[in-house]
A and B are shown apart, each in its own frame.
Chain A
Amino acid sequence: MADIDVTGLVKRYGHVVAVDGLSFSVQKGEVFGMLGPNGAGKTTTLEIIEGLRAPDAGTVHVLGTDVLAHPGTVKERIGVQLQATALPDFTKVREAVELFAALYRQARPVAELMAEFNLEEKADAYTDKLSGGQMQRLSIALALINDPDLVFLDEPTTGLDPQARLNIWTVIEGIRQRGKTVVLTTHYMEEAERLCDRVAVIDRGHIVALDSPRHLIAANAAGTTVEFARVPGLDVEALRKLPGVDRVVADGQVSLTTRTPEVVLHALLDPQAPWAGAGSAGGDGEGEGMIRDLVVRHGTLEDVFLSLTGRSLRE
């Protein structure tokens, strides 16, 4: 049985259809991403699954339980981190952890959790004195206080500086290594690519694609681009005939588009190829060939979103 089973989910706000017939499953132990621009319906979907909001139609089963019928049972077993981190005012870090620990039948030892999230130093600081990154670590720690099997993280790194973001990514990878299922929303493609086993690309309340980041990119982002300098004497026609090359653009530089970069690179860097070895243009180094300034660019989920919806992720 999947950890999450959603079928035919619909949520309207007045005339606005925020979620328009979503169906998907999240398997045990995977990191499942929901990628889309602001207002795509990610948070609404998440909050319905968490039992915070009632849908207008559809069914939601979490860890085998019908959330709409038994929200209390589900809340005991999941961890929730909301988009806006809200804690009681005038509360110190340790007190906040203790306060949330008391809300569950079973909770992890407070000291252990604080050590794990590097919060010991700040234990006696008021929560409103924390940096953005510290606050987010605390927020995720609180989501794990009941040692849940399933954790929801709503835009866990939005608004953080790059260092803090990397730090949170490490935290999330740690959660995954302990075998927990993670559902996260993001509008950062690099975040989804790095962390997620599968990504649902969401636009205007619909899932427009659902697959692993690698497959999504392979299917929708026009492959990988291999670029290098156009050296005089380089046989561009021969490059066109290389296995795996879909398209060649040669102007100031040469760009090969491919869905199988491994094959193309192998052929390109073959020591027997006509462009290998000492180049006619008189390179600086011994044995330097005509393939210079080589760059391999991946397609990204940004390209995927653009290709699927015709719009940019962050517009």
Chain B
Amino acid sequence: MSDLAVSLRQVRAEQRGFWRNRVAAFFGFGFPIMFLLIFGAIFKGQTTCIDGSLGARGQCVGGTLVPYNNFFVPAMAAWGVITTCFSNLTINTVYRRDNGLLKRLRGTPLPSAAFVAGILGSALISAVIVVVLTAVVGHLLFQAPWPAHPLPALVSVLLGGLVFCVIGLALTAVTPNADAAPAVMNFTSLPLLFISGFFFNFNNAVFVDIAKVFPVYWFKEAMLTAFGAEPSSSGWNGQDLLVLLIWGVVGLALTLRFFRWESRRV
């Protein structure tokens, strides 16, 4: 079998396992959708100021005033991608490292690259599905517009998903065991989600500056642009994608250097 065929087979096996594992599928898909339903209902009909600050009379200074759900749908779609590609993939990989599956596969001729391609491919498929699902729910229940720029949206999802996958794989190196994995994932992603303005406009300059160091912020920006929440003629924002790409390269280098195929000896 060629490496490509082996990789595709791995993708299929991963997807089969993902959908059979209903708890993981729920956490990947359920959380962003649940928040969309709650926040979407609460703030329906209101507006939010993106990338600016609210003035004394409620005006949006230096940013764009948009209906809340025009902003919230792409933000929750971005969170869905982060959950499936970063959190789930990392927790699952640490679990497999602990139970010895990674080592067992190393005992076969399966190339490491084909194995990794399998888990990345599967995560990206799940990511696309969660984005579509979020967009559909947002459109049907909250009259959010369809993504204004489908191609940039798809590219952002795939690039962002890939970047979060490799950063997640790099993080497995400092995650001691499967029990600690969810905590490590939540601790690294939740604060960034808040200060990157995933739920509401977060206008504290210090926090925003911190957020801008990390890819979570830029991924949200790319998704808002591609979905048309931010004014853009093309849906592309080179800076967003470039920062993501740099993080991807850093994550890949760290993964290649520090990734472990078995748990530390006790």
Q: Which of B1-51 contact A (CB under 8 A)?
A: 1, 6, 9, 13, 16-17, 20-21
Given A86-B99, A86-B100, verify A13-B265 contact (CB < 8 Å): yes
Annotate B169-184 by CB proximity to A: 1 below 8 A, 0 otherwise: 0000000000000000
Q: Tell whether, in the assembled complex, residue A90 and residue B16 are in contact, meaning their CB atoms are under 8 Å apart.
A: yes
Chain A residues near B96 (CB-CB < 8 A): 86, 88
How many angstroms between the C-alpha atoms of A99 and B96 in the bound complex? 16
Q: Tell whether, in the assembled complex, residue A75 and residue B103 are in contact, meaning their CB atoms are under 8 Å apart.
A: no
Does A294 reach chain B (CB closer than 8 Å)? no
A284 nearest CB across to chain B (Å): 60
A104 CB contact (under 8 Å) in B16, B105, B108: B108
Does B151 reach chain A (CB closer than 8 Å)? no
- Of chain B, the residue at the smallest CB distance from A80 is B107
Chain A residues near B107 (CB-CB < 8 A): 50-52, 75, 80, 82
Q: Tell whether, in the assembled complex, residue B20 and residue A90 are in contact, meaning their CB atoms are under 8 Å apart.
A: yes
Does B250 reach chain A (CB closer than 8 Å)? no
Q: Which of B216-250 contact A (CB under 8 A)?
A: none
Does B101 reach chain A (CB closer than 8 Å)? yes
Chain B residues near A103 (CB-CB < 8 A): 6, 105, 108-110
Does A15 reach chain B (CB closer than 8 Å)? no
Q: Tell whether, in the assembled complex, residue B1 and residue A102 are in contact, meaning their CB atoms are under 8 Å apart.
A: yes
How many angstroms between the C-alpha atoms of A76 and B265 in the bound complex? 27
Chain A residues near B6 (CB-CB < 8 A): 102-103
Chain B residues near A87 (CB-CB < 8 A): 101, 104
Q: Tell whether, in the assembled complex, residue B109 and residue A104 are in contact, meaning their CB atoms are under 8 Å apart.
A: yes
How many angstroms between the C-alpha atoms of A82 and B107 in the bound complex? 9
B123 nearest CB across to chain A (Å): 15
Does A72 reach chain B (CB closer than 8 Å)? yes
How many angstroms between the C-alpha atoms of A52 and B260 in the bound complex? 12
Chain B residues near A315 (CB-CB < 8 A): none
How many angstroms between the C-alpha atoms of A281 and B9 in the bound complex? 80
Q: Tell whether, in the assembled complex, residue B17 and residue A90 are in contact, meaning their CB atoms are under 8 Å apart.
A: yes
Given A80-B108, A88-B13, verify A105-B103 contact (CB < 8 Å): no
How many angstroms between the C-alpha atoms of A103 and B6 in the bound complex? 7
- Of chain B, the residue at the smallest CB distance from A73 is B109
Question: Dominant SS at the B interface?
Answer: helix
Interface size range of chain B in the complex: 20 to 34
- Of chain B, the residue at the smallest CB distance from A104 is B109
Q: Which of A57-77 contact B (CB under 8 A)?
A: 72, 75-76
B20 nearest CB across to chain A (Å): 4
Annotate B96-124 by CB proximity to A: 1 below 8 A, 0 otherwise: 10011101111111110000000000000
Chain A residues near B20 (CB-CB < 8 A): 90
Chain A residues near B103 (CB-CB < 8 A): 52, 82, 86
Annotate A77-103 by CB proximity to B: 1 below 8 A, 0 otherwise: 000101111111111000100011011
Given A13-B265, A86-B101, A88-B101, verify A99-B106 contact (CB < 8 Å): no
A129 nearest CB across to chain B (Å): 13
Query: Which of A72, A88, A105 counts the most chain B CB atoms within 10 A?
Result: A88
Chain A residues near B1 (CB-CB < 8 A): 102, 105
A108 nearest CB across to chain B (Å): 14
Q: Tell whether, in the assembled complex, residue A99 and residue B13 are in contact, meaning their CB atoms are under 8 Å apart.
A: yes
How many angstroms between the C-alpha atoms of A182 and B100 in the bound complex? 22
Q: Tell whether, in the assembled complex, residue A105 and residue B109 are in contact, meaning their CB atoms are under 8 Å apart.
A: yes
A82 CB contact (under 8 Å) in B16, B104, B111, B265: B104
Q: Which of A125-143 contact B (CB under 8 A)?
A: none
A90 nearest CB across to chain B (Å): 4
B17 CB contact (under 8 Å) in A80, A84, A89: A89
Query: Which of B6, B100, B107 counts the most chain A CB atoms within 10 A?
Result: B107
Q: Tell whether, in the assembled complex, residue B108 and residue A90 are in contact, meaning their CB atoms are under 8 Å apart.
A: no
Instruction: Give me 25 A-to-B residue pairs in the complex whose CB atoms sit less than 8 angstroms apart, sorted by A's number.
Output: A13-B265, A51-B107, A52-B103, A72-B109, A75-B108, A75-B109, A76-B109, A80-B107, A82-B107, A84-B100, A85-B100, A86-B96, A86-B100, A86-B101, A86-B104, A87-B101, A88-B101, A89-B21, A90-B17, A91-B16, A95-B16, A100-B108, A103-B105, A103-B108, A104-B108
Per CB-CB distance, the 10 closest pairs between chain A and chain B, nearest first, are: A86-B100, A80-B107, A90-B20, A86-B101, A84-B100, A103-B108, A103-B110, A75-B109, A90-B17, A76-B109
Q: Which A positions have Cβ atoms within 8 angstroms of B?
A: 13, 50-52, 72, 75-76, 80, 82-91, 95, 99-100, 102-105
Given A86-B104, A88-B17, A91-B16, 10 extra CB contacts under 8 A: A50-B107, A72-B109, A76-B109, A84-B99, A86-B96, A86-B100, A86-B101, A90-B17, A100-B108, A102-B6
